[in-house]
Amino acid sequence: MPQLRQDPIAGYWVVIATERAKRPHTFTQAPKEHTKPGRECPFCEGNERMTPAEVIAYRKPGSTPDSPGWYLRVVPNLYPAFGPAEGSLYPHQVGMYAVMQALGVHEVIIDGPDHHNDLGSLSVEQVATVVKAYVERYLAHKDNPIIKYILIIVNHGQEAGASREHPHSQLFGTPLVPAMIEQELAGTKLYQQKTGRCVYCAMLEEELQLGDRLIYENGSFVAFAPYASRVPFEMWILPRHHSSHFEVINEMQRYLFAESLHAVLGKLQQGLNDPPFNLYIHTTPCHDEAGGVYHWHVEILPKLSIAAGFELGSGIMINTATPESAAEFLCSIPI
């Protein structure tokens, strides 16, 4: 019989539809056509003039901005969803409706010059370089009074909304704290009040003890399939020890974080033949007064199903794979 499972943080319910459950390997993707590196890709080396001028880049000594010789580039999004990062939000009413300027930032982090290898197939060193750029750009924006939250995301594959195949990440600085974060913060605070504990720490303890949803662990990070997984092969990566702010990650942790990203995305890629996915980092809002209560983490949502009328109209996801079978399958994939 189908089961309704509840996420203990944000409180959402998920149907684990065992009646329509599929075996993990049935989610394996058909081979797909890849775009070619080179002339038409604005993120490939040599095409630097096809993007706006770079904000920062990690470069070989002697190379000059907006020219070849880089390991990683950050450029403003050509069609920003948020921006600029200064001015007045001008919140006002239009009749009965509230509106404001979508000030903020929207940057593209080009993960490397390689057109094909992404976070799951680059070297751990290169992934650590990408994480370094995440932190650097986070720090560059976090004190801007306009920016209330910084969301770092990865879209991989066309079905997951990636408009470019060349591996890249995006950083959004928003002038409000997004609803998803507000919900998780509220849930975290409530759990703290009730039990005196961090809900994410409690979850880590439980998952490490049970083990049947664990996917990967190293000295500083643990990855598992959450009990109330919304989609097949949903994965979370949490710092093993309580940590509220992503941007304070030190060099050693950054390397171990890169290792965990590389491992779980590599398993996904190899296990299911490079499926599309969305990934985001959830951390404490900028200028947070309460501080310390939240536990930053990564959520990875493979795009192997479609949120249809029921999901959109109810907010309840129907998941046709159990997290336990997904974790078992991913554990069996060597990295």
> Hey, which residues between 172 and 191 contact a copy of itself (CB under 8 A)?
172, 174-176, 178-181, 183
Centre a 10 Å sphere on the Cβ of residue 3 and count the other Cβ atoms it contains: 12
**Strand partners for 223:** 216, 237
**Strand partners for 155:** 278
> Does the active-site annotation cover 92?
no
- The verdict on 198 binding a copy of itself (CB under 8 A) reads no
- The verdict on 309 binding a copy of itself (CB under 8 A) reads yes
Best CA proximity match to 171, nearest among 156, 188, 154: 154
- The verdict on 166 binding a copy of itself (CB under 8 A) reads no
Nearer to a copy of itself, 57 or 228 (CB): 228
> Hey, which residues between 202 and 231 contact a copy of itself (CB under 8 A)?
202-203, 206, 210, 227-228
Q: How many residues does the chain have?
A: 335
- The verdict on 324 binding a copy of itself (CB under 8 A) reads no
Centre a 10 Å sphere on the Cβ of residue 108 and count the other Cβ atoms it contains: 23
Total chain residues near a copy of itself (CB under 8 A):
74
> Hey, which residues between 133 and 152 contact a copy of itself (CB under 8 A)?
149, 151
Instruction: Report residue 123 as tokens.
Output: 């070297």
> What is the rounded distance in angstroms from the CA atom of residue 199 to the CA atom of residue 175?
27
Nearer to a copy of itself, 177 or 333 (CB): 177
Contact 176, 148 (CB under 8 A): yes
Per CB under 8 A, the list member of 60, 62, 86, 98 interacting with a copy of itself is 98
- The verdict on 196 binding a copy of itself (CB under 8 A) reads no
Per CB under 8 A, the list member of 38, 46, 161, 291 interacting with a copy of itself is 161
CA-CA-CA-CA torsion sign (272, 253, 145, 51): negative
- The verdict on 282 binding a copy of itself (CB under 8 A) reads yes
**x-marked contacts with a copy of itself along 53-72 as a string, rule CB under 8 A:** --------------------
> What is the rounded distance in angstroms from the CA atom of residue 300 to the CA atom of residue 235?
5
DSSP secondary structure code for residue 13 in this structure: E
* Least spacing, CB of residue 54 vs a copy of itself, in Å: 20
- The verdict on 292 binding a copy of itself (CB under 8 A) reads no
Instruction: Report residue 268 as tokens.
Output: 């996904």
Nearer to a copy of itself, 50 or 176 (CB): 176
- The verdict on 308 binding a copy of itself (CB under 8 A) reads yes
* Least spacing, CB of residue 328 vs a copy of itself, in Å: 17
Nearer to a copy of itself, 103 or 256 (CB): 103
Per CB under 8 A, the list member of 66, 136, 212, 299 interacting with a copy of itself is 299
Contact range with a copy of itself by CB under 8 A, out of 37-45, 61-69, 264-272, 301-309: 301-309
- The verdict on 318 binding a copy of itself (CB under 8 A) reads yes
> What is the rounded distance in angstroms from the CA atom of residue 86 to the CA atom of residue 68?
31
Nearer to a copy of itself, 26 or 310 (CB): 310
Rounded to the nearest 10 degrees, what angle do helices 251-272 and 323-331 cross at? Answer: 100
71: exposed, middle or buried (C-beta count within 10 Å: 0-12, 13-18, 19+)?
Answer: middle
Centre a 10 Å sphere on the Cβ of residue 271 and count the other Cβ atoms it contains: 22
> Hey, which residues between 5 and 34 contact a copy of itself (CB under 8 A)?
5-6, 8, 11-13, 15, 17, 19-20
Q: Which of 115, 168, 295, 297 is catalytic?
A: 168
Contact 232, 271 (CB under 8 A): no
DSSP secondary structure code for residue 30 in this structure: P
Contacts of 43 (CB under 8 A, 6+ apart): 51, 73, 108, 110, 115, 164, 166, 168
Nearer to a copy of itself, 8 or 68 (CB): 8
Radius of gyration of the chain (CA): 20
Q: Catalytic positions, please?
A: 168
